Amino acid sequence: MYNKNLVDDIMKILSVNNESNLPLHNPVFSGNEEKYLIDCVRSNFVSSVGEYVIKFEKMLVDYTGSKYAVVAVNGTAALQVSLQLAGVEENDEVLIPALSFIATANAVRYLNAIPHFLDVGYESLGIDPNDLDIYLSDFIEFHNGLARNKFTRRYIKAIVPMHTFGHPVDMDALCEVASKFRLTVVEDAAESLGSFYKNKHTGTFGKVSALSFNGNKIITTGGGGAILTDDDELARIAKHITTTAKIPHQWEYRHDMVGYNFRMPAINAALGCAQLEQLPQFVLNKRKLADYYKRKFSKIDGVSFFSEPEYAKSNYWLNVLLLDKENAGFRDNILEETNNAGIMTRPVWKLLNTLEMYQNYPAMPLTVSRDLEQRIINIPSSAYLAENL
């Protein structure tokens, strides 16, 4: 039976600013964006050799605490290169959450590797380390010093925790499990710039990590991403292969390996510099908006607001409503009512292993992921919405 009261209560709370058209997540351009873009254009260095590229990388290092940052054209490219740097090769298995944006799986397949889908937990919406430990114990064996799937006989090279909607995975516990099974950690931190796990920024726990600055992220460069690492040699290779593996020379074009034209242009980096200057305020605003939602939805029966794990300080990139199980059947009604009213909401992604191109890849039992898929609703999360609260 249609729960009109629940829908009406949700609509009332989501009308934060009484806007007639409320997007899910809009960027905020209120700083030096125009100034830096004009400066970049006037310099004539708008491609990847412009000075803003180096400046943006330095700012990312200063903010995240990573030793190196290498910017790329988008987060998917950054993750693909990160996996390659971690040693992932053709036909290797890579452990990734089934509850994730498709880029996580695509980056694995770009290397002709095999995604192996994991369940997530209720605490962070990301990989649950305890369930992971139990699951891996059943099928991992060691061969030539590497983890191998004893059923498929494929090596398992890496595990990719994804910090869902900006909420950090329990990285201490996950890294302990990864070490036990000799797996390299490659963080998909695409959604978690500005999020901290026990006062340490996400993306600084893995051997290599990837960030995204897509138009809907907490800061944007239009498109764009970055590779983070503390490893001197991996940082050097990352920069080399994302610039077509060209050997530096005054006029000669020589390349010493297969590379990619993945380096971020300066015009995008200029936008990123201005955005990153404002990131602390964006995070404060988004946390203020999350607090508002948490207070309001605590008074509504049948739905709850998802809050950060106790160990974390989240950027609350996209806010999450979690319908009670008995109300899961009303999800599509709520989505239809809100979107028809000009309030953009959306369901979580379809589980990756249910998509046609990924249906035949290995997966653990996905009990929690299937449950969450039916009950999650993302609600308007733009940083500017907090200004009038």
| Span 183-187, average pLDDT | 98
Assign residue 279 a region (left: φ > 0; alpha: ψ between -120 and 50; beta: otherwise): alpha
pLDDT in tens, 270-311: 999 999 999 999 999 999 999 999 999 999 999 999 999 999
φ/ψ (deg, to 5) at 106: -60, -40
pLDDT in tens, 364-377: 999 999 999 999 99
Q: Which tokens belong to 367?
A: 């009990």
Assign residue 228 a region (left: φ > 0; alpha: ψ between -120 and 50; beta: otherwise): beta
What pLDDT, on a 0 to 100 scale, did the predictor assign at position 17?
A: 64
pLDDT in tens, 81-114: 999 999 999 999 999 999 999 999 999 999 999 9
What pLDDT, on a 0 to 100 scale, did the predictor assign at position 73?
A: 98
DSSP letter at 328 equals G
Q: Domains of the chain: which residue ranges?
A: 4-28+279-388, 33-277
Instruction: Give the strand pairing for 319-323 and 68-72.
Output: unpaired
pLDDT in tens, 310-325: 999 999 999 999 999 9
Mean of all residue pLDDT scores within the chain: 96
pLDDT in tens, 295-305: 999 999 999 99
Range 4-28+279-388: architecture per CATH: Alpha-Beta Complex (3.90)
CB 345 within 8 A of CB 378: yes
Could you tell me the fold of the domain covering 33-277? Aspartate Aminotransferase; domain 2 (3.40.640)
Share of the chain above pLDDT 70, in %: 98
| Span 255-262, average pLDDT | 96
